[in-house]
Structure 1
Amino acid sequence: MQLIAKLVEEEEKNCKVDEQQLNDCYIQAQHWAHRGVMLFDAIASTVQLCQNKLFPEYQKVKDELPVPVQEKLQKRHQGIEIIGRMLERIVEPARELYETETPNRELPRVSKPELIDILSNETNPESARQAIAKKFKEIGDRRYKCIAEIRELAERRQQRWLNFVEKKVLPIVDGIESGQRYSQPLVAQLKNENPNWSTKLDDWFKIYHNLHLNLLHALEQMEVYPMQVKTKTPIDYTHHEPFDVQDDESLPNEYIKEVIRQGYEYLSQKSKVKSQKSKEFLVLRTAQVVVVKN
């Protein structure tokens, strides 16, 4: 009975360690399930706002412009329509990330009656030792499998979330920023050519600002934020990706001359802990920059 009590005590210690691992994985799986819900809600509400308000308002302004002006803006119209379709197409894929349930596993353990039963059926001490070792290994393997399943679920949810934001949401934001950048000189030219339509052209151009603002708000709801990348500062290779190198005698080597593509970061799971004094952000996508090489 002393041997059984000792084995039960050891099993209890091992089980507590495994239960802590399981609980950590379970919390992580729940965390990414919650972020999946946040992502879908943010995407769905943003797309609804665009369909019900922003695009109808834009269409109204567009139709009020003179036909010759509309024709000169045709490629920009097509770009905005593409952005609208891209937004519509991510709603259903985002719905797949909407998971509210995480299976709760109860770890198996070797009970005192099971040990008594094993020992009572074995008269040879070595056979009894082997039978007990076999039982502990069997239970240990089952516990490991339970923990591994929840850990894999958490990792799968995390990777799907990160991939979705990086591959499906950020390209839309990039498209809006690119459209705004390329449209600005054309709108300025059209305002000079058609001063009577200057206000309407400004109203038309606001579609980029409004779309960009709403997408950034959606990202903020997902706890994703643009990096604060400053030019004329040293490059940080953990956050910045060299897109090109250029000479510039006014700046030292390895300094950022220009930001080509915005980088993004997301709030870490650790920052959810109330005792955490400062927020921690992890890189979602590095910023592409032009680096000085003299």
Structure 2
Amino acid sequence: MINMKKLIEISEVQRTYSIKRKLLEEWKVQFEELEVEAEKLSAFFQRNYENKMIQDNFPPELQELLENRLEGIRLSAKTATRLKRKLNNEKPLEDPPKGFIPIKKTNSNPILELVEKDNQSIFLNFFEEEVDEIIKVNRDQVELLQVDIEMAEKRFFQFIEKALAPIMDGLYNGKLHAKELVIYTNDSFPDYKTEVIEWVSIYEELMEEVNKLLKTYFVGLLIPEKGDYFDELKHDPIAVVEDTEYHNEQIKELVRYGYYYKKTINNQKNFIIRPAQVTVVKNLLEKPADKEKSGHRDEGDINEV
């Protein structure tokens, strides 16, 4: 008769299979939901673009600048129309493997195990070789499940990085240009400043809509501030600059947002999907460090909106 160690092994493999099967099914549901949300986001972008007008009473020079901003919004709306396609839903996730052999204790005798195999219920008499074969088959099924789960995770993270992130990148750049436009308007056409501020608020509206979708699926934005210290795990240094107002290794500018996954995955908390792109200070003559005064935070801290 089989020993208790084998019974524990059988139970553990079965428990692991159940957990992973549930996880894969959750990923399948999530991709179906994402397809719907992608369509909603695309429609939101298109609607906002079509409703955005440039007032005829604006000075011609200001109208031309706003036309450039409107073209950028049009491109963001066009990119949003491709979200559904980038989900690759024409290649659905695999169904859980069907070769798993479920085992449960019988009501009449907790020592005997009932095996559902080939659509027939049979009692295991606990010959070692028979039990070992079942364990091997079930472990193989668990490994297949894990491969499918990892493919689902990769597909999701690629969607964030290759589909949603470029939209946010474009909007963030547009927002920076919009700030410059507001300053220019204030200097050159102060009577139109309020209207221009209202006009460029579309960037915040569109970005907030994307961020709502990200939050729904446990994705956060990495937004390091000026003066934060560079962290190679969270930040991608696109350029090195001198600035004596900062210490070495401090961040001077945020170039584009980073993204991280809030749920624990593969025993890793706050998995970095894409690091934030930044410029980093490197002075030839470093002044004495004073991290506390310069707003230094622990490496575990993450900024998000």
| TM category, shorter | 0.7 to 0.9
Normalization by structure 1: what TM-score? 0.74
CA distance 1:221–1:6, shift in 2 (3 Å): closer
> 1:274: which partner in 2?
none
Alpha-carbon deviations, 1:59-79, whole Å to 9, x = none? x34677566543343332221
Q: Secondary structure at the match of 1:226?
A: strand
Structure 2 unaligned segments of length 5 or more: list them.
104-112, 116-121, 284-305
Q: Residues of 2 paired with 1:186 and 1:250: CA distance?
A: 27
1:103 to 89, 96, 111: 96
Are 1:284 and 2:273 matched, yes or no? yes
Matched-pair contact (CA < 8 Å) for 2:13–2:135:
no
> 1:182: which partner in 2?
177
Q: Secondary structure at the match of 1:264?
A: strand
Are 1:293 and 2:301 matched, yes or no? no
- Residue type of the partner of 1:212? M
- Residue type of the partner of 2:42? V
CA distance 1:202–1:196, shift in 2 (3 Å): same
Deviation of 1:268 (Å): 1.1
Are 1:55 and 2:49 matched, yes or no? yes
> 1:84: which partner in 2?
77
How many residues in Structure 1 have an aligned counterpart in Structure 2?
A: 264
After TM superposition, list the pairs within 5 Å mapping 1:130-209 onto structure 2. 133=129, 135=130, 138-190=133-185, 192-209=187-204
> 1:75: which partner in 2?
68
Matched-pair contact (CA < 8 Å) for 1:226–1:262:
yes
The higher-RCO structure (CA 8 Å, 6+ apart) is 1
CA distance 1:210–1:92, shift in 2 (3 Å): same
Alpha-carbon deviations, 1:56-104, whole Å to 9, x = none? 331x346775665433433322211110100111124337299799537
2:248 to 246, 253, 257: 253
Matched-pair contact (CA < 8 Å) for 2:260–2:270:
yes
2:35 to 40, 49, 68: 40
Q: Residues of 1 paired with 2:12 and 2:29: CA distance?
A: 26
Deviation of 1:29 (Å): 1.6
Are 1:242 and 2:242 matched, yes or no? no
More helix by share: 1
Matched-pair contact (CA < 8 Å) for 1:40–1:97:
no
Matched-pair contact (CA < 8 Å) for 2:97–2:144:
no
Normalization by structure 2: what TM-score? 0.71
Structure 1 unaligned segments of length 5 or more: list them.
120-131, 271-278
Matched-pair contact (CA < 8 Å) for 1:50–1:211:
yes
CA distance 1:288–1:100, shift in 2 (3 Å): closer
Q: Residues of 1 paired with 2:2 and 2:65: CA distance?
A: 85
> 1:231: which partner in 2?
226
CA distance 1:70–1:181, shift in 2 (3 Å): same
